Structure 1
């Protein structure tokens, strides 16, 4: 890796980026397959087909202005992703309670205000709608190498960043707190990519045995995570005040004539 600033989309073309992208694609295919509804939206990351295994009749890909600008101009129409609309995660052009599923592959890491983006996703989801969120885990071997490189750079050294320079990565625990604060309920969390922070495909393949070992012995230290959260809306019943009800008249006794 060079010492220059690496963007997230450019980094996904590198050997570790392709390795992580392949793991995330498998998780999205598995997690969205059984989420039902009518309308699904993917926010960002055209290189990942987060909705391809879902069976909803209406599925869209939305990109921000910066992401749309970074799309390769030389790609053929068959290879280019089918972008339905341009939209920022903090201001979605959808009515409240109109989407059943929102896929967010690294959307929060690229957002100018990740908490506001989550709040906007909560707004557009229907009750019991799902949000599938993936991100890079700073509490991992990859995160440790990134932290050391930044520390060397601040001290005047020549540290080289391993991960893309997209600001501060969000830990799974912090994201879980945000989700609960907004009213989401965490349904599942998956961790993956336990191989060391190698830059070449040869060394990544050499340490392939660490994926199974890491998933068993240190699962929360994977380089990436995928979270599924559901929008919960508490049921509420309004009771009419007793003073608004008119008093009921007491029933009067009625004499019944009997024939002998």
Structure 2
């Protein structure tokens, strides 16, 4: 089952950027990481919030039976339409097995509210996958120079992976793994051989400087151990005091 959801957001422009040569190259790397991390994720319901077109094939190949899409598309898109917002998800608490956030936090007005909603709808031991642009990378430096021009994706707010990890931890989600990719500079076009060389060197010598990170975290729920009620009048035997013999009912004086 695939349900498409209309929602107004700056992420609508990101969907268009994914169709550019540079965006398509980025999407290939991101999809490879997401697919690896989804291979060991199971359940009944997977929700993707954000630009959905680039990840459609990855979700279709996942082992989770039902995929619910919340794309940022104009009204009139084919398929069922369900209104929703990333910080007010239209799902019951503890009902979703996995959530995919492809750059959703990079362009959300309130990333903390989005994470809080994701934690609410996830079942215990549910997974959240966060795809984001790394502020500590050549792409992050490019953003500092181009942000004022309002161009995609430089107009977003890039985060450090450690910042996202801490934000998830604040809402009860523990980091399971983090993958970095895209060590090639932000060129207008991807040049396959040259970018492959950049990626090989980057993964070996400075893995945390990749322009894209994919985080997988799990929602942990503290288990409560029930305690036996404390006895208000413990017996003499349990208190360690001697028990006085009785002759009641024995027939002896």
Match of 1:199 among 184, 188, 201: 188
The whole-number CA distance in structure 2 between the counterparts of 1:29 and 1:36 is 13
Normalising by structure 1, report the TM-score: 0.78
Would the alpha carbon gap of residues 242 and 113 (structure 1) be closer, same or farther in structure 2, given more than 3 Å must change? same
In structure 1, the partner of 2:133 is 136
CA distance in 2 between counterparts of 1:167 and 1:23 reads: 19
Distance 1:180 1:167 in 2: 23
- 1:191 partner SS: strand
> So what's the TM-score if we normalise by structure 2?
0.80
Q: Deviations over 1:104-126 (max 9, x none)?
A: 11111232211100011001111
Tell me the SS of whatever aligns to 1:234: coil
**Counterpart in 1 of 2:145?**
148
Deviation at 1:182, TM superposition (A): 1.2
Secondary structure of the structure 1 residue equivalent to 2:201: helix
Q: 1:255 to 1:57 in 2, by over 3 A?
A: same
CA distance in 2, matches of 1:242, 1:254: 31
Q: Which residue is equivalent to 1:220?
A: 208
The SS at the match of 1:207 is helix
- 1:88-237 aligned at under 5 Å gives the runs 88-150=85-147, 163-201=152-190, 203=191, 205-237=193-225
Distance 1:237-1:30 versus aligned 2 partners, 3 A rule: same
- The number of residue pairs the alignment matches comes to 231
Post-superposition CA distance 1:69-106 (Å, at most 9, x none): 2x8x7x9x6xxxx6663321101111111111111111
Offset at residue 41 of structure 1 (A): 1.1
- 8 Å Cα contact 1:7/1:165 also seen in 2: no
1:207–1:238 distance in 2 versus 1, CA, 3 Å: closer
Question: Which residues of 2 match residues 79-94 of structure 1 at below 5 A?
Answer: 85-94=82-91
Structure 2: stretches of 5+ with no match in the other structure: 1-11, 238-242
CA distance in 1, matches of 2:81, 2:65: 14
Cα root mean square deviation, aligned: 2.9
Query: 2:49 is matched with which residue?
Result: 43
Q: Distance in 1 between matches of 2:235 and 2:224?
A: 28
Per-residue deviation at 1:127?
Answer: 0.9
C-alpha separation in 2, matches of 1:236 and 1:178: 24
| Residue 60 of structure 2 is aligned to residue 52 of structure 1 | yes
1:3 corresponding residue in structure 2 = none
Is 2:106–2:159's contact at 8 Å kept on the other side of the alignment? yes
**CA 165–143 in structure 1, closer or farther in 2 if over 3 Å, else same:** closer
Task: Tell me by how many angstroms 1:56 deviates.
Answer: 2.1
